[in-house]
DNA sequence: TTGAAAGCGCTAACAA
DNA sequence: TTGTTAGCGCTTTCAA
C-alpha cells in the first residue's frame, strides 16, 4: 500500500529514526545521508502519515472553526465568507489547515466542540461570534484550550479576542447622521444575546445622549442578521406616528431589506429615511441609492484572529489579549442630508 | 492528562478491547458491561482520540475541499460560500467534518492535494471547479482516491461530478434575450480554461445559430469572475461601432460590474443594453435595475456533491456518475424589451 | 462474552 | 551521527 517511513528506511539502509530526523530537519545528521534519504523519499513518493504523526506529536497543524448554529442562515451574510477568507489566507500561509464543524442546535454545537477538543482533533479553535455567557467559552477556558474569540467577551478580560470598537463605531455612525441634520434617529439591532448588538446599541445611545437628543423605545428594533429583519423593521418604523428620519442599521444585509421595503412602498432614500449600515459589503456600493456603511475590516479580523490563535498555539506569551481592528465610515448617498 | 480507553477499562475492570467494543456498538457484548462502561465513560468525560482511531481504522470522517487558487479572489463571489453552505449542511448531517486547504499557485494546490491524499488526512475530496486537463483530476484518478467534481470533466465520463446543464442554461438565457427582440447579442465569458466558460459559450452560440443570428468575435469577451471584468467588458462593448443591444454575462458579479459601468457612463438598462447573468445572487434582486439571472441551484450543487462523495466513500457502487442540477430563468427588469 | 497481544506509522529518549 | 526501543491511543485478530 502506501509508502511508510520503514520502507524508506530499508531502501536507504538506515533506521526509521534517521529518516524521521531527515524529515524534521534535525541538525546533527550527515549531509550525505540527508541527500540519500531525500532522494529515496522523492523517488518512492513518500508522504508522512498525518495521523500517525499527530498521534505521537499531540499536535495536528489544524485549527477549527465552529459555524454558528444554522449554517443555513450563515452564508447569506457576507460576514462569514469574508472572515473565513481572512482566516484561510493566514492559516494556509503558516501551513495550518482549517477544519469546519457545525452544530445545528446549541447543544450540538457544544458537543462538536467537545469532540474536537477532547478528541485532539485540532490545535486551537476560532469562535466566530460572541454571545453573552457563552457555554463554549466556559468550556474552553476550563480546558485551557487555545482559542480566539471574534468579538468581545463581557465577563473575561483575559480571553484572546479580536474585535472592533463597536461602541465607537456605532457612535461614529450615529454622530454622522446627527451631523447631517437628523434629530430623530432609530436603530435596527441584531439578536440581543450577541455582544455586538449590545455594543452598537450602546454607541448609538451614547451619541444621542451626548447630542441631547431623545430616543424613543419605539425607535429601537431587534432582529436577525437577515434582509427579512430589515424589511420588518422598516414596516414598523414607517407606520409610527412620529417616525425617525434616519436609522442606524446593524448590518448592511438588514439595510438592504429596509431599502427594498422603502422602495416598494414608494419612499425615497435619503429623503424619507436616511440609512447607514455596517460591514461595507460589496453590495453596498451597488444598491440604489448606494448605502453608507461602517467598514469594519472583516477580512482583517479573520486574518488577525488566525494569527493570534496560531501564535498562542505555538506558545508565544507576550501578547495583548485583545486586538482591535479599526473601522472607517464610508459615506454614500443613503445618508446624505434629507433636504 | 486526557482520559484514554485504558483508563476507562481499568475503572470498569474490563479490558481495553471491551471498551472499544462498547464504543463501536459491537453486538455480542453483555448489556451489563455495556451499561457499566458507558456510565464510566460519561463519568470520566472520555472522548476517543480521533487520531489514534484514524491511524488504525485508516479512515478520518473528514472530507476535504481545496480552495481554487487565490483564496483572495474566492469569496468575492457568492458562488463559493453558497456551495460550501450546501456541502457543510450535508456533511455535518452525516457526521463528516470539512477540511479546507488551499494553494496559491497551481503547484501549491497540487501539493496540498497530494499531502491530504497521501498523508491520509481526508477520506475524500471535493473539487470546486473544473478546468480543462486538470492535473488534480489525473492525480486523483491514478490514486483511485474518492473525489467529486463540481462541474464537468471533458475527458473522463466516468468521474463523479455534479453540474448544471450549462449549455442548455446559456442557450435558454440567450433565447430569452432573442425573444425580447434582441438581434445583436454579446457574451461576457469567464476564464477560458474553465469548462463552465466553454459550455456557456457553446449554449450562447447554439441559440444564435439556431435563430439565424450573427455573432461577431467582437461581441465575445473573456474575463475573470469579478466585477472588474464586467466593467472592462462594458467599456469595450460600448465603444464598438456596432455594439450589441444585449449581453449574456457568465456571472452576476460580472454583471454588476457592467451595470455599474453603464450607470457611470449614463447609459440606461435595459434601454441601452439588456443584461442577463448567472447564479441568481441575492444581490441580483437589489440591483438597479434588478438583474435577470439564471438560477443554477448552487446550494443544491454543494449538497449533492457532498452526498455523492460520502456515498462513494462508504463504498456505494450503484451510482450514476453525473448529477445534473436543474436551472431556472429568473427574469427581472434588466432584460425586459428594449423598447 | 471477554481478554491478550500485535500493530497502525510515527517520534523521541537513551545508547552506542 | 546513527540505531534501538518504547510508546502515542486505538482496533482487531485469535484464543479462551
Residue A53, number of CB atoms within 10 A of its CB: 19
* Interface membership of A288 toward B (CB under 8 Å): yes
CA of B20: nucleotide with nearest C1': D11
Q: Domains in chain A, ordered, with CATH? A: 62-164+298-324 (3.40.50.2300), 166-297+328-335 (3.40.50.2300)
pLDDT tens digits, B167-183: 999 999 999 999 999 99
CA of A6: nucleotide with nearest C1': C9
Within 13 Å of residue A266, how many CA atoms lie on the same side as its CB?
Answer: 0
Can you tell me the mean pLDDT for B184-203?
95
A31 sits in which H/E element: helix A31-44
Residue B209: which residues within 8 A CB-CB, separation 6 or more? none
Residue A206, number of CB atoms within 10 A of its CB: 16
pLDDT tens digits, B275-312: 999 999 888 888 889 999 999 999 999 999 999 999 99
pLDDT tens digits, A35-89: 999 999 999 999 999 999 999 999 999 999 988 766 556 667 888 889 998 999 8
- Using an 8 Å Cβ cutoff, are A56 and A92 in contact? no
Q: B316: pLDDT confidence band, cut at 50, 70 and 90?
A: confident
Q: What is the pLDDT of residue B78?
A: 83
Radius of gyration of chain A (CA): 25
Report the candidate in A141, A3, A119, A110 with the shortest Cα–Cα distance to residue A60: A119
Q: What is the pLDDT of residue B2?
A: 86
Residue A282: which residues within 8 A CB-CB, separation 6 or more? A78, B76, B227
The residue assigned the cell 466516468 is B158
Is strand D less than 7 A from the beta carbon of B193?
no
Residue A320: which residues within 8 A CB-CB, separation 6 or more? none
Q: What is the pLDDT of residue B74?
A: 63
A27-56 residues near strand D (Cβ < 7 Å): 27-30, 32-33, 52, 55-56
Residue B17: which residues within 8 A CB-CB, separation 6 or more? none
User: How close, in Å, is residue A291 to chain B by CA atoms?
Assistant: 12
Q: B4: pLDDT confidence band, cut at 50, 70 and 90?
A: very high
Q: What is the pLDDT of residue B72?
A: 56
Minimal Cα distance from B287: which residue of A?
A287
Q: What is the pLDDT of residue B211?
A: 96
Q: What is the pLDDT of residue A74?
A: 63
The residue assigned the cell 445534473 is B324
* Interface membership of B144 toward A (CB under 8 Å): no
Calculate ∠ Cα B75-B79-B80, nearest 5°.
55
DSSP single-letter state for residue A274: E
C-alpha–C-alpha distance, residues B265 and A52, integer Å:
61
Q: What is the pLDDT of residue B15?
A: 93
Give percent of chain A above pLDDT 90: 75
Q: Which nucleotides of D are covered by protein (CB under 7 A)?
A: 1-5, 7-13
- Using an 8 Å Cβ cutoff, are B186 and B245 in contact? no
C-alpha–C-alpha distance, residues B332 and B239, integer Å:
26
Overall pTM > 0.75: yes
Residue B224 β-bridge partners: none
- Choose, out of B85, B125, B258, the residue to mutate when testing the contact with A (most A CBs < 10 Å): B85
Task: Give the nearest partner residue to B85 out of A75, A120, A282, using CB atoms.
Answer: A75
Can you tell me the mean pLDDT for A197-203?
97
Interface of B with A in 27-56 (CB under 8 A): 45, 47-52, 54-55
> Which residues of chain B are within 8 Å of residue A256 when distances are taken between CB atoms?
286
Contact assignment for B75 to A84 by CB distance below 8 Å: yes
pLDDT tens digits, B42-87: 999 999 999 999 999 999 999 999 887 665 566 678 888 899 989 9
CA of A46: nucleotide with nearest C1': C9
Amino acid at each position: 500500500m502506501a509508502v511508510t517511513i520503514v520502507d524508506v528506511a530499508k531502501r536507504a539502509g538506515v533506521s526509521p529514526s534517521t529518516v524521521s530526523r531527515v524529515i524534521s530537519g534535525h541538525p546533527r545528521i550527515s549531509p550525505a545521508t540527508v541527500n540519500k534519504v531525500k532522494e529515496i523519499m522523492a523517488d518512492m513518493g513518500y508522504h508522512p502519515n498525518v495521523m500517525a504523526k499527530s498521534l505521537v506529536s499531540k499536535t495536528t497543524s489544524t485549527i477549527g472553526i465552529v459555524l454558528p448554529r444554522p449554517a443555513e442562515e450563515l452564508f447569506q451574510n457576507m460576514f462569514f465568507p469574508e472572515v473565513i477568507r481572512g482566516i484561510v489566507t493566514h492559516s494556509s500561509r503558516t501551513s495550518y489547515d482549517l477544519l469546519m464543524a457545525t452544530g445545528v442546535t446549541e447543544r450540538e454545537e457544544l458537543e462538536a466542540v467537545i469532540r474536537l477538543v477532547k478528541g485532539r482533533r485540532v490545535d486551537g479553535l476560532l469562535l466566530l461570534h460572541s454571545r453573552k455567557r457563552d457555554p463554549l467559552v466556559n468550556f474552553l477556558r476550563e480546558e485551557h484550550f487555545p482559542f480566539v474569540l471574534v468579538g468581545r467577551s463581557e465577563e473575561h478580560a483575559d480571553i484572546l479576542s479580536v474585535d472592533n470598537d463597536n461602541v465607537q463605531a456605532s457612535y461614529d455612525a450615529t454622530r454622522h447622521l446627527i451631523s447631517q441634520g437628523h434629530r430623530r434617529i432609530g436603530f435596527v439591532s441584531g439578536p440581543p444575546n450577541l455582544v455586538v448588538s449590545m455594543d452598537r446599541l450602546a454607541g448609538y445611545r451614547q451619541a444621542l445622549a451626548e447630542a441631547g437628543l431623545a430616543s424613543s423605545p419605539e425607535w429601537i428594533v431587534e432582529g436577525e442578521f437577515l434582509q427579512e429583519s430589515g424589511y420588518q423593521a422598516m414596516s414598523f418604523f414607517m407606520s409610527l406616528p412620529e417616525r425617525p428620519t434616519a436609522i442606524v442599521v446593524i448590518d448592511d444585509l438588514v439595510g438592504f431589506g429596509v431599502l427594498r421595503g422603502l422602495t416598494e412602498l414608494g419612499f425615497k432614500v435619503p429623503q424619507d429615511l436616511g440609512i447607514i449600515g455596517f460591514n461595507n459589503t460589496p453590495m453596498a456600493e451597488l444598491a440604489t441609492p448606494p448605502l453608507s456603511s461602517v467598514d469594519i475590516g472583516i477580512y482583517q479580523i479573520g486574518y488577525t484572529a488566525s494569527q493570534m490563535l496560531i501564535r498562542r498555539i505555538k506558545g508565544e506569551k507576550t501578547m495583548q489579549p485583545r486586538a482591535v481592528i479599526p473601522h472607517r465610515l464610508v459615506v454614500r448617498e443613503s445618508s446624505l442630508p434629507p433636504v
